[in-house]
A and B are shown apart, each in its own frame.
Chain A
Amino acid sequence: MTTSDETAPIPHALGDVVITMRQVNKWYGSFHVLRDIDLSVRRGERIVICGPSGSGKSTLIRCLNQLEAHQSGDITVDGVALVPGLAGIESVRREIGMVFQRFNLFPHLTALENCTLAPMKVRGLSRAEAEAAARTYLERVHIPEQAGKYPVQLSGGQQQRVAIARSLCMNPKIMLFDEPTSALDPEMVNEVLDVMIELALSGMTMLVVTHEMGFARRVADRVVFMDQGEIVEQAPPAAFFGEPRNERTQRFLGQILPAGRSGATAG
């Protein structure tokens, strides 16, 4: 079990609004992947986004650092309005960490070098500063001893933790997670989720696309359910799992949660 059912969500204070999406739409050709998305996220808030595959949840978070451009509507991140082709988008991106399903570590660099590359070349830190920070974060994700290894020498869970450390080394204000545990062998899921829970405890603003409902119950301030490009329902975890209002949400939860235990931790 990743997180126990009995544990109540971690209480914490929220700050001002840091992300706003208003009437955001996006198409892939004729496929309408995001429909009139309205979402606002406050500093320190932890949002879990779930929904069937193809519902647009990954696309939504990829719009926040403009890995994907949206076609209409407004997105504001940390006071900057994101428009397609925005000059200086890099300065927005470096404040937003992103963790991918397939880790995407740089295979030609060691774990430590993966963590120091961007701080040195993007932020302009000295090697000594960058390495000190990298070691601190590798410690925080519990693999300081793997610093000198190349990604290919690490397990999936270890790679994903290095990827988290790599993002944290940029000192981001927001962390995006795009199905961070779906490519992992089952026995490695927990080590990654544990790191994410610790990160949540530290007050990081997090948007997490995941089907780990135990994680959602324990950590999320709000669970957002998407289907066919729309936000169908959003609610605090207790309400979301306890009394989902929308029929599509109920059907989705019925499929992913163990039978007869709607509201329990997903297996």
Chain B
Amino acid sequence: MRVLGESDVLFILAAVRWTLLLSVIAFLGGAIGGLFVALARTGEITPLRYVAMGYIKIFQGTPLLMQLFLAFFVPGIFGFNVDPWGAAALGLSLHASAFLGEIWRGSIETVPRGQWEAATSLGFRYWAKMALVIVPQAVRIAVAPTIGFLVQLIKGTSLASIIGFVELTRAGQIINNATFRPFTIFGLVALVYFVICWPLSAYSRRIERKLAVAGR
């Protein structure tokens, strides 16, 4: 056992970049996947709608940790070797796709039917209708819950430590194993998460309040 030093604290703080990078990748992957899920779920192609629904149900009904385990171990069965990085990015992206897909489906469905009908009667095709009429209205509704989910996702990246990905939480564990100062170390780790997440939560709350006022 050794004493907790400045370099240990720096090691932990430096690991924040992996937490952030993993969050960004998972969020972007989730945004792309979520867009497909939301469009499939609200679209008129029945089989696609059911596939998207099943996808959402599976990911909402299982723990994120199991999803990460599966993302880590399953590709190996088929002969693909994934490192913790790839597994964490894949697992979290798939996870985020389901949740963002569901959030955005809800937002799209909040846009009144009359908006679809007006756009349809003016001769817009599906994609133009979506891009010019439906999405601009759905986005306003989606922003707050999307940021809310982003906060969940950032905190969720801590589970990637269990499949051996060295991010903020894992860095804390490593230092703690060497110095055994759990209160200080995990207090610091928690504080870092808070500093990242709290402003996002506050921002999302502000947007929600603004929308509530505009909606009056």
Contact A118 B124 (CB under 8 A): yes
18 A-B residue pairs with Cβ-Cβ distance under 8 Å, sorted by A, are A65-B120, A67-B121, A90-B124, A93-B120, A93-B123, A94-B122, A96-B121, A97-B121, A98-B117, A100-B118, A105-B118, A106-B115, A117-B122, A117-B132, A118-B122, A118-B124, A166-B122, A170-B123
Please pick, from B119, B120, B121, B137, the residue contacting A107 in the complex, using a CB distance under 8 A: B137
| A84-110 Cβ-contact flags toward B at 8 Å (1 or 0) | 000000110110111010101111100
**Whole-angstrom distance between the Cβ of A93 and the nearest chain B Cβ:** 5
Residues of B within 8 A of A106 (CB): 115, 118-119, 133, 137
With A108-B137, A117-B132, A121-B132: A67-B122 Cβ-Cβ less than 8 Å: no
Please pick, from B112, B118, B136, the residue contacting A108 in the complex, using a CB distance under 8 A: B136
Contact B121 A65 (CB under 8 A): yes
| B95-128 Cβ-contact flags toward A at 8 Å (1 or 0) | 0000000000000000010110111111111001
**Whole-angstrom distance between the Cβ of B24 and the nearest chain A Cβ:** 28
| B131-174 Cβ-contact flags toward A at 8 Å (1 or 0) | 01100110010000000000000000000000000000000000
Contact A93 B121 (CB under 8 A): yes
Contact B117 A118 (CB under 8 A): no
Residues of A within 8 A of B140 (CB): 108
* Closest residue on chain B to residue A95 by CB atoms: B123
Residues of A within 8 A of B136 (CB): 108
Q: Is A239 an interface residue (CB 8 A)?
A: no
- Number of B residues near A (Cβ < 8 Å) is 18
List residues of chain B with CB under 8 Å of any chain A CB: 112, 114-115, 117-125, 128, 132-133, 136-137, 140
**Whole-angstrom distance between the Cβ of A118 and the nearest chain B Cβ:** 4
Q: Is A154 an interface residue (CB 8 A)?
A: no
| A104-130 Cβ-contact flags toward B at 8 Å (1 or 0) | 111110000000011001100000000
Q: How far is the CA of A222 from the CA of B137 in the complex (A)?
A: 40
| 7 further A-B pairs in the complex, CB-CB below 8 A; given A118-B124, A122-B128 | A90-B125, A93-B122, A94-B123, A98-B117, A98-B121, A108-B136, A163-B118
Residues of B within 8 A of A93 (CB): 120-123
* Closest residue on chain A to residue B215 by CB atoms: A152
Q: What 6 A-B pairs are tightest by C-beta distance, nearest first?
A: A94-B123, A104-B118, A104-B114, A118-B122, A98-B121, A93-B123
**Whole-angstrom distance between the Cβ of A263 and the nearest chain B Cβ:** 34
* Closest residue on chain A to residue B133 by CB atoms: A106
With A67-B121, A94-B123, A96-B121: A104-B128 Cβ-Cβ less than 8 Å: no
* Closest residue on chain A to residue B131 by CB atoms: A121
Please pick, from B117, B125, B132, the residue contacting A104 in the complex, using a CB distance under 8 A: B117
Residues of A within 8 A of B118 (CB): 98, 100, 104-106, 163
Residues of A within 8 A of B132 (CB): 117, 121
* Closest residue on chain B to residue A106 by CB atoms: B133
Residues of B within 8 A of A102 (CB): 114
Contact A104 B123 (CB under 8 A): no
Q: How far is the CA of A118 from the CA of B132 in the complex (A)?
A: 10
* Closest residue on chain B to residue A118 by CB atoms: B122
Contact B114 A91 (CB under 8 A): no
**Whole-angstrom distance between the Cβ of A119 and the nearest chain B Cβ:** 9
* Closest residue on chain B to residue A170 by CB atoms: B122
Contact B121 A122 (CB under 8 A): no
Contact B115 A67 (CB under 8 A): no
Residues of A within 8 A of B137 (CB): 106-108
Interface residues of A in 139-171 (CB under 8 A from B): 163, 166-167, 170
Residues of B within 8 A of A105 (CB): 118
Contact B117 A91 (CB under 8 A): no
Residues of B within 8 A of A107 (CB): 137
Residues of B within 8 A of A117 (CB): 122, 132-133
Contact B128 A67 (CB under 8 A): no
Contact B128 A121 (CB under 8 A): yes
Contact A67 B114 (CB under 8 A): no
Q: How far is the CA of A170 from the CA of B123 in the complex (A)?
A: 9
Q: How far is the CA of A97 from the CA of B126 in the complex (A)?
A: 18
Residues of B within 8 A of A91 (CB): 123
Q: How far is the CA of A102 from the CA of B116 in the complex (A)?
A: 13
**Whole-angstrom distance between the Cβ of A46 and the nearest chain B Cβ:** 19
Residues of B within 8 A of A118 (CB): 122-124
* Closest residue on chain B to residue A122 by CB atoms: B123
**Whole-angstrom distance between the Cβ of B162 and the nearest chain A Cβ:** 44
**Whole-angstrom distance between the Cβ of B43 and the nearest chain A Cβ:** 15
